[in-house]
Amino acid sequence: MDLLKESPVIYYTPVENFSHYLCYGFRSGKEESVMVESTLDASKMYSPIVKIKSLPRSLQPSPENNTAKYQPIELDDLGSLAKLSYGFEEAPFPLFAFPVREKWFLGVFLNFNEDGDSFFCYVVLNEEPVKPFVKHTQLIVLSQYWSIILVNMATLTSK
């Protein structure tokens, strides 16, 4: 669970109809997430949907809790974001994209220690990212002077 100054951060999106599971996978090379009634397809990942009647007080919005904010850190390039978004012993952290004026922010929420500040590390894109993943590669280039140069590249990709 993500925390901001010891308060949980809850991500959500409005939906009209609920099913029992959120299904995530690929169909014909395209990323797909849909709500389904069962978990029959073993090639997909599923997350159960639990309907809650009411939130406990600790999870309800409160005017006193609105003072804490993420500290923004604008990164130089997509490669830096790719390096940051990859967890050290875990699966990659999710990236969040959203429009800001005429641009798009693509970034990751990080908390380097539980008691310290929380950060949103991001890059500014000129247009909405249409590919669902960031691919980071490192190329070794041999220069004309026989020295090795490492080139880091990050691109948005479908896989």
DSSP assignment string, 77-91:
SHHHHHHHHS-SSSS
Q: Which of 89, 90, 79, 47 is nearest to 151 (CA)?
A: 79
Query: What total of structural domains would you count in the chain?
Result: 1
pTM beyond 0.75: the answer is: no
Tokens of 86: 């990859």
Please check whether residue 96 lies inside any domain of the structure: no
Please check whether residue 13 lies inside any domain of the structure: yes
**CA–CA separation, 10 vs 62, rounded Å?**
14
Instruction: Check pLDDT > 70 for residue 152.
Output: no
Please check whether residue 60 lies inside any domain of the structure: yes
Q: Which residues constitute the domain of residue 50? A: 1-65
For the segment 135-146, what is each residue's pLDDT rounded down to a tens digit? Answer: 656 555 554 544
Please check whether residue 10 lies inside any domain of the structure: yes
Please check whether residue 15 lies inside any domain of the structure: yes
Please check whether residue 61 lies inside any domain of the structure: yes
pLDDT of residue 42: 92
Instruction: Check pLDDT > 80 for residue 48.
Output: yes
Instruction: Check pLDDT > 90 for residue 39.
Output: yes
pLDDT of residue 155: 54
- Residue scoring higher pLDDT (11 or 109): 109
Q: Which residues 6+ apart lie within 8 Å of 57 measured at CB?
A: none
- What is the band of 87 on the pLDDT scale with cuts at 50, 70, 90? low
Please check whether residue 27 lies inside any domain of the structure: yes
pLDDT of residue 156: 54
Highest mean pLDDT among 10-24, 38-52, 115-129, 137-151: 38-52
pLDDT of residue 64: 66
**Percent of the chain topping pLDDT 90:** 9
- What is the band of 81 on the pLDDT scale with cuts at 50, 70, 90? confident
Please check whether residue 50 lies inside any domain of the structure: yes
- What is the band of 150 on the pLDDT scale with cuts at 50, 70, 90? very low
